[in-house]
Chain A
Amino acid sequence: MKKMRKMLAGLSAMVMVVGLLTACGGGGSDTDSGSKSDGDSGSNGGSTKLTLIMSQRDEWLGEMEEAAVKEAKEMGINLNTVDAQSDTSKMLQFIESAKNDGQKAVIINMVDPETAEQCVEAAGDMYVVFVNRYPSDDSVLNEKVVYVGSDENTSGYFQGEWLAEHFKAEGKSEFSYILLNGILGQTSTTLRTESLLKGLEDNGVKGVEATAPLAAEYQRENAQDMIAPLLKTTQYDAIISNNDSMALGAIEAMIDQGIDPTTVPIVGIDASLDGRQAVKDGTLDMTVFQDPKGQGRGALIAAKNLINGNAINDGTDWELDETGNILWIPFEPVTIDNVDEYDNR
């Protein structure tokens, strides 16, 4: 009996910890559950509850999430953000939980763009706002299922345009490059690389890839390790990267080997904090600003407009595509000339 009592004591201690944690964790949600009861009867009364599902949390996505949370506060929306940690199954579970909770709309940053159809299915009657990752099968988009993001067909294009201009100014119509791809097969990687090549072609400059295709998975360390052995053994006129992190990895590798990174044009995408610093330092020649705050805010605004039955860009300057179901947050090219403008955005 003594043993039993001891074990029971341990058990109750555990339950207490659980209770305590849920109670303190839910500190914010105490007021939520209070206001929720009003919200349920009339959700337009300003206390709408929404869920934002993040595929993961990296620096860029973190900024997007933060902007969405800030916008929600201003709108008086009770926004619950959750992290699917790159797990599609978990993402679907979060969608169903939001539905079970009686929410009217869900904002999804998909883990895998191939699963858009399943997301819509899991959402049932809820409005769906896909943000940042474009559905592979965009036939799922309609007046209840919309997309907010930047058009990847323009991101690489800006790089291509800039490089074409740079080499034309040097009197060259052909150059060789090392290209650091993100994750092969991922839509953003494919489109960034494709639009880069198109940007070069449209501007009459021929680019030749100096190496076998490199995929550094958008990671700085990977890019650094991958490019290091190539720097002194390969002939190249430019380094092109699908994002800033990998470009910074390349710059790091050059400095390690005593090569001056300012001697070769290097271009990235994202205009991240570190990327912008590199532009100011002159090591990164050009990057493309993908607006995390714009996408985060845009997703919230689109969700609210859907619930209120307005056009999804209502109250903003952003443009819709011809179907009215896509809200484009524009990419913007960034160089030393305009980099300062992006510090406070």
Chain B
Amino acid sequence: MSIQRKKFLSDNMIWLVLIALVIIMSIANRNFATVSNLTTLLTGEAIKGIMAFGVAFAILTKGIDLSLGAVAALVGAVSGALVQPTDFAMRTLSSGVRLPAPAAILIGLLLGAAIGGCIGAIIAYTEIPAFIATLGAQLICRAAAKMFSNRPVSKLSDDYRFLGSGRVLGIPMIVIVFIIIAVISWFILVHTRFGKSLYAIGANSQAARVAGINVNANLIKVYVWCSLMAALGGVLLAGRSGSSDPSTSGLNYELDAIAAATVGGTSHTGGVCSVTGVIAGILILGVINNGLVLMGVDDNMTNILKGIIIIGSVVLDMRKNIKKV
């Protein structure tokens, strides 16, 4: 009970920070708390948010994923190239047909899953730190994306772009996708054996192994999930802007995703993660990004503030965890 209560409390702490920020921003600029601006805010953070759900799983098992942005760039370029008009002079693939969007997106997601499988297998079987494995994967995927196309993959079909830039009942699809992913993440973590195993592995992987959990198989699944979220992010990024530039698409998104998961209380010492926390983490960083721009605050100041919040949240998190022992 007491752990549950503490967890409940810490979740609410994050929301308190968020509410305080929203109040500050609303007072500072009356154009902040408008429907159109909040839609802008959510649209802008959704992709990083989806990636944050991915990397949160890795962090939960004491891992990390630095390849998210690069995987997004590779998947964005590959799946985008499949939906370019065949008569387009600058088409990335000189031959081939224009696939229907669902097929191209599916291929993109499968590519992401395959990359994740490789990363996961390397981490599980060689036992090298996830930091190193995914740093390597980042370089490889970014280079592969640039080799695949040395210019932005553009003129993407409208049906492909629907997920990234369409709207349903006035709500951007990108936000709807984010909500769906949040629900799926919550379901996996709370209601599946896989999710519960992750908490066990994160808390103590030796104990988990002894308790009969197949740690290696679960680790592979974690990185498949991570890369799948990165791949989805890549599809959304390409869809949002109508063009996927392999050299800049998704650049440093992994860092924002890690920051959001961290601010959201996902503990880098493993075993602690909640979906609501991650959502709050994303919203806090989003409110800062958006609100300070509206206030005309220098970007450098914005980044300093974000840095302080990231460090501060981990300091709080560590104190919390020490007390638990």
Binding site for B on A (CB under 8 A): 3-4, 6-8, 10-11, 14-15, 17-19, 21-22, 25-26, 28-29, 32-33, 49, 78, 80, 82-83, 85-90, 92-94, 96-97, 99-102, 111-112, 114-115, 117-118, 136, 183-186, 215
Contact = CB atoms under 8 A, between A and B. Distances in A.
A85 to B, nearest CB: 7
B264 to A, nearest CB: 14
Given A7-B316, A11-B16, A185-B150, A22 B28 contact: yes
B188 interface: no
B31 A102 contact: yes
A33 B28 contact: yes
A80 B266 CA distance: 35
A129 to B, nearest CB: 18
Given A100-B36, A114-B243, A15 B316 contact: no
Given A15-B17, A86-B248, A184-B151, A22 B241 contact: no
Contacts of B29: 33, 101
Contact of A97 (B152, B294, B309): B294
A29 B295 contact: yes
A26 B308 CA distance: 17
Given A92-B240, A112-B243, A4 B9 contact: yes
B240 A10 contact: no
Interface in B34-59: 34, 36-37, 40, 43-44, 47
Contacts of A8: 13
Interface string B176-187: 000000000000
B309 A14 contact: yes
Interface residues of B, number: 62
Contact of B305 (A25, A99, A100): A25
A28 B240 CA distance: 33
Given A22-B305, A97-B37, A97-B290, A7 B43 contact: no
B241 A89 contact: yes
A87 B40 contact: no
Interface stretch (B121-129, B202-210, B211-219, B296-304): B296-304
12 contacts: A10-B319, A22-B305, A25-B292, A26-B295, A88-B240, A88-B249, A89-B241, A97-B293, A100-B294, A111-B248, A112-B248, A114-B242
